Homo-oligomer: A and B are copies of this chain.
Amino acid sequence: MELQAVNFIGNDTSRNGDVFFKGYDPIKNKELEPAYPEASNEEISLAVEKAVKAFSLFRKTTAAQRQNFLQSIADEILMLGDDLIYCCMNETALSFDRLTGERTRTVNQLKMFADLITKDFWNDVRIDRAIPNKKPVPKKDIRQMQIPIGPVAVFGAGNFPLAFSVAGGDTASALAAGCPVVYKAHPGHPATSEMIAHAIIKAVKKSKMPDGVFSLVNGLSTRVGEKLVSNPNIKAVGFTGSFKGGKALFDLAALRDEPIPVYAEMGSTNPIFLLPMALRNNADYIVEGIINSFTLGSGQFCTNPGLIIISKSDDTSKFLEKLGKRTGLLSPAFMLSKRMKDNFENGINKLQSIKDVKVISKGIKALGSCETTSYLLETTAKQFVNNENLEMEVFGPSTLIVLAKDKNEIQTIATKLGGHLTASIHCNDEKELSEYMELVETLTYKVGRLIINDYPTGVEVCDSMHHGGPYPATSDVRFTSVGTAAIKRWLRPVSFQNFPERLLPDALKNSNPENIYRLIDGILKKA
């Protein structure tokens, strides 16, 4: 595919702006062609205007039509072939295997949301039938379903150039819900974004969806995103990225004349607790697991485990020795960009400058300007609970060991923790875990996902996945950005009172033509 370096304003390509930026090859250490135009304010307004028009048609589409549309996007992405993968490798330094895996996930997510909306449970339909002779007053016929919230803005993530970018989870779930998407492309992979946008627009046309159901605006400066989120016709925002970026959008949205929901997944340190008997009996498994988890994708995952809490025992020093040795063998890792690498190394330097924090092992020294060394650090429980900077995410391949004296200090650390996406506990067996149920309980109320004898990376995309968590992990603890429940972010309820049967939406008709579960007079059923 020949790249055009354009914005997509609905089905039209457009390049009216006069500010340009380029992608960057972190491995070859050079700028990539072509230069991409930042969307002008007019282009952004036009994209939203088109989304508003498209919404009035898109919200009337059937689930089957939207299913077909999403499947068509998946097909078009696969049709791009490995050109997409190579293009993305150049822009991100991520490996062929990683990116083909991510493509599979992206395509599967599109299909998952496509299928979800034709299933029998997702719309939370509630029906209370009239009781005309009810005393003291007759009961009305009331029926509730979920409808799309309106045109939404989605921000692409730098660390997931496919699965959380142009046709990623946020876009897929919003389109499934019936919400047009104005997508703000991540400036780290503009060419990859353009390729996917072409695929989506092809699918829009093939499946006869309204022009404006999808737009893509480019931007390196924050102006583009700010302009988009400030537009009064945008009704919700999805974001995956840094705390700083997510919080800025949250604040902007709260200050609008009409405040709107912002779903910002902003990162987390994902503490892992190692219980004594696990350390004694499973040290090798745990060392390997931790090494793999904190270095996966050069540590550039929001589920990267950045904290390992250990209760000191006779086995501790042996365990740390093994972990340190393994860390020492780690190859240098390419980061997504020079900025990411600099941020990471600054973060490590800041950590090291804190009293009682020391680097206990380092991977092989990195040489390239976008490459980094992996780090294993250590501190005391006392220092950890007194310095909240030690809980901050350092985005990259590092993890911080926190040495607790005993079970009490472990509990103190857990109680002190802020909000995280996940926490993990490694135990020898059910018996050992059952002695730490206070820890389990505390962590349950600190995180979105609690993991036993496993690692936070490798987020399963399924009904039961909650990828979210208390602030500052996300801006909205009530919603997930991974899994089928992610569709709830783009829906809101509406009730119909005393409506003629024939004119009700299908989901609410007595005859239940969609054959879905509904809560009828307090009983969940398919009748």
Alpha-carbon distance between A463 and B518 when the two chains are bound, in angstroms: 11
Asked if A454 lies at the interface with its beta carbon under 8 angstroms from chain B, I say yes
Closest to A436 in B: B503
CB pair A485–B524 under 8 Å, yes or no, is no
Q: Using Cβ atoms and an 8 Å threshold, which residues of chain B touch A92? A: none
Q: Which of A140-192 contact B (CB under 8 A)?
A: 140, 142-144, 147, 149-150
Q: Name A430's contact: one of B251, B462, B500 (CB within 8 Å).
A: B500
Closest to A493 in B: B466
Alpha-carbon distance between A464 and B124 when the two chains are bound, in angstroms: 10
Alpha-carbon distance between A412 and B485 when the two chains are bound, in angstroms: 36
CB pair B497–A449 under 8 Å, yes or no, is yes
Closest to A476 in B: B261
CB pair A464–B128 under 8 Å, yes or no, is yes
Asked if A440 lies at the interface with its beta carbon under 8 angstroms from chain B, I say yes
Q: Name A440's contact: one of B120, B254, B503 (CB within 8 Å).
A: B503
Size class of the A contact interface (CB-based, 8 Å)? 35 or more
Scoring A144, A251, A448 by chain B CB atoms within 10 A of each residue's CB, the highest score goes to A144
CB pair A444–B477 under 8 Å, yes or no, is no
CB pair B498–A453 under 8 Å, yes or no, is yes
Q: Name A121's contact: one of B101, B136, B462, B524 (CB within 8 Å).
A: B524
CB pair A499–B450 under 8 Å, yes or no, is yes
CB pair A493–B497 under 8 Å, yes or no, is no
Q: Name A448's contact: one of B475, B480, B494 (CB within 8 Å).
A: B494
Q: Using Cβ atoms and an 8 Å threshold, which residues of chain B touch A491? A: 478
**Contact mask for chain A residues 495-527; partner B; CB cutoff 8 A; 1 contact, 0 none:** 111111011000000000000010100101000
Q: Name A140's contact: one of B259, B460, B500 (CB within 8 Å).
A: B460
Asked if A126 lies at the interface with its beta carbon under 8 angstroms from chain B, I say yes
Alpha-carbon distance between A64 and B259 when the two chains are bound, in angstroms: 38
Scoring A127, A440, A494, A498 by chain B CB atoms within 10 A of each residue's CB, the highest score goes to A494
Asked if A80 lies at the interface with its beta carbon under 8 angstroms from chain B, I say no
Q: Using Cβ atoms and an 8 Å threshold, which residues of chain B touch A354? A: none
Asked if A250 lies at the interface with its beta carbon under 8 angstroms from chain B, I say yes
Scoring A433, A453, A463, A503 by chain B CB atoms within 10 A of each residue's CB, the highest score goes to A463
Asked if A472 lies at the interface with its beta carbon under 8 angstroms from chain B, I say yes
Alpha-carbon distance between A463 and B468 when the two chains are bound, in angstroms: 27
Q: Name A454's contact: one of B430, B433, B445, B497 (CB within 8 Å).
A: B497
Q: Using Cβ atoms and an 8 Å threshold, which residues of chain B touch A434? A: 502-503
Q: Name A143's contact: one of B121, B254, B464, B499 (CB within 8 Å).
A: B464
* A110 CB, nearest partner CB in chain B, Å: 17
Asked if A330 lies at the interface with its beta carbon under 8 angstroms from chain B, I say no
CB pair B463–A492 under 8 Å, yes or no, is no
Asked if A31 lies at the interface with its beta carbon under 8 angstroms from chain B, I say no
Alpha-carbon distance between A35 and B127 when the two chains are bound, in angstroms: 47
Closest to A450 in B: B496
Q: Name A502's contact: one of B119, B126, B430 (CB within 8 Å).
A: B430
CB pair A463–B498 under 8 Å, yes or no, is no
Alpha-carbon distance between A126 and B254 when the two chains are bound, in angstroms: 32
CB pair B142–A495 under 8 Å, yes or no, is no
Q: Using Cβ atoms and an 8 Å threshold, which residues of chain B touch A440? A: 503
Alpha-carbon distance between A251 and B498 when the two chains are bound, in angstroms: 37
CB pair B497–A258 under 8 Å, yes or no, is no
Asked if A358 lies at the interface with its beta carbon under 8 angstroms from chain B, I say no
CB pair B498–A149 under 8 Å, yes or no, is no
Q: Using Cβ atoms and an 8 Å threshold, which residues of chain B touch A477? A: 149, 492
* A480 CB, nearest partner CB in chain B, Å: 6
Scoring A440, A448, A460 by chain B CB atoms within 10 A of each residue's CB, the highest score goes to A460
**Contact mask for chain A residues 252-268; partner B; CB cutoff 8 A; 1 contact, 0 none:** 00110011010000000
Asked if A451 lies at the interface with its beta carbon under 8 angstroms from chain B, I say yes
Asked if A59 lies at the interface with its beta carbon under 8 angstroms from chain B, I say yes
CB pair B495–A126 under 8 Å, yes or no, is no
CB pair B250–A495 under 8 Å, yes or no, is no
Q: Using Cβ atoms and an 8 Å threshold, which residues of chain B touch A478? A: 149, 261, 491-493
Q: List 16 A-B contacts (CB under 8 A).
A: A56-B441, A121-B524, A127-B464, A128-B465, A142-B460, A144-B466, A149-B478, A150-B445, A250-B259, A258-B471, A261-B478, A448-B493, A452-B497, A452-B500, A454-B497, A478-B493
Q: Which 6 A-B pairs have the closest CB atoms?
A: A254-B254, A126-B464, A466-B495, A449-B495, A144-B464, A451-B497
